Structure formats: structure tokens, C-alpha cells
Amino acid sequence: MNDVYFACMQCLVYVDAGYRWAAFTLPDAGVQLESQIKADAVDAAHEYWNPPDDSNWLRDGIFPAVRKFLKSHGEHELFFGEHESFANPDSTDWFDWLEVSEDPNPSPRFFAETLGLVTWSSVRDWVKANRFPWWWSLPEYQDSARTRFEAIVRRRSQ
Ligand SMILES: [Zn+2]
């Protein structure tokens, strides 16, 4: 258990909660792994928000995105746990999800909503210049991603 996330089950948005630090400190504050959680309990988790002094990766990388996530989705249905627990990794269902961490895994919604791209060729250019998502080299996955991306762009332009 390393990678744990906060996920909004209504908006299908998730954010990196802070690896082992989150997994070890949050359960003590009543934020249980692999279960639905309340934003208030996360807000009140004193140890979680006060890591050792050398934890800049938490203070500068993880916490700003988590705070923003809790502000936007605090009233929604939230889940805390591993990625596989809220989005099935063996299907393309997770293409419906958007990661809002500091360094998110690219998904169709990331290209359309976060980057504001409107054509698949601009997605291709971005991927070449930045990074290849794990699914990029799998033709059926890329087709599925493209279909979803183009549907989002169409919906957003209406
Ligand atoms: Zn939400």
C-alpha cells in the first residue's frame, strides 16, 4: 500500500493523498482506508497536515492540490484508498476520471478540461513534448481515449 488517493465519486475526480504519509496518519484521525470519508475529518487530521520539517514534497507538492480538491468536492461523496478501489484498472472506465494532483496521469478529461485542448493532433503534440501515458502505445486504449476526448470536446463546445 503506497499510492493512496482522495476520490470524488460524483465528479469522478481524484487527487494524490500523499503516499504512505497519508496511509499512516489519516486512519488515526478517523479517515479509514478503503472507505467513504468526510472532508471535515481530513481537515481536522492534525498529524497529517503537520509532517516532519524535511517533507517539502508534501507541503509544496501534495497539500496544495489536496486543499483545492477538498474545497471543490468537500460536500460530495468522497472515498479514500487505492486507485483500483474506485476506478477499475482492467477496463477503460478510468478514462472517465480526472486526476488533479500536481503531476497528474494524463486522461481524456485531463487533455480536454485541464489543458483545454480541442483536437486529437494537439493531444498528440502535447504527449510527444511532455510524456507518454501508459495507455498511449495500446491501440484499442488510445482509440477509446480519443473517442472519449472528442465527446468531451463536443459537449464543451455546445
Ligand atoms: Zn465532486
Q: Give per-residue pLDDT as tens, 96-142.
A: 999 999 999 999 999 999 999 999 999 999 999 999 998 999 999 99
Gap from CA of 72 to ligand 1 centroid (Å): 7
Closest listed residue to residue 63, CA positions, set 103, 105, 101, 37: 101
Q: In the prediction, which pLDDT does 93 show?
A: 79
Taking the centre of ligand 1 as the mean of its atom positions, its distance from the CA of residue 129, in whole angstroms, is 31
- Centroid of ligand 1 to alpha carbon of 156 (angstroms): 18
Which of 25-34, 38-47, 82-91 is the least confident region? 82-91
Q: Which residues contact 23 (CB under 8 A, 6 or more apart)?
A: 1, 2, 4, 17, 33
Distance 76 CA to ligand 1 centre (A): 5
Encoded amino acid at 75, one letter: E
- Cβ(33)–Cβ(80) below 8 Å: yes
On whether the CB atoms of residues 142 and 121 are closer than 8 A, the answer is no
Average pLDDT, the chain: 94
Name the residue type at position 55.
S
Enumerate residues 6+ apart whose C-beta is below 8 A from 117: 111, 123, 126, 153
**Could you tell me the distance, in angstroms and rounded to a whole number, from the CA of residue 36 to the centre of ligand 1?**
13
What is the Å distance from ligand 1's center to 31 Cα?
18
| Ligand 1 geometric centre to CA of 153 (Å) | 20
Cα separation, 91 vs 137, in Å, equals 16
Q: Is the pTM of this model over 0.75?
A: yes
- Indicate whether 20 pLDDT > 70: yes
More confidently predicted of 87 and 150 = 150
- Alpha-carbon distance of 17 to 4, in angstroms, equals 6
Question: Three cell numbers at 82?
Answer: 487505492
Q: What's the gap in Å between 3 CA and the centre of ligand 1? A: 20
Q: pLDDT-based confidence at 87, cuts 50/70/90? A: confident
CA of 7 to the centre of ligand 1 (A): 8
Going from the Cα of 28 to the center of ligand 1, the distance in angstroms, rounded, reads 25
- Measure the CA–CA gap between 31 and 38, rounded to whole angstroms: 8
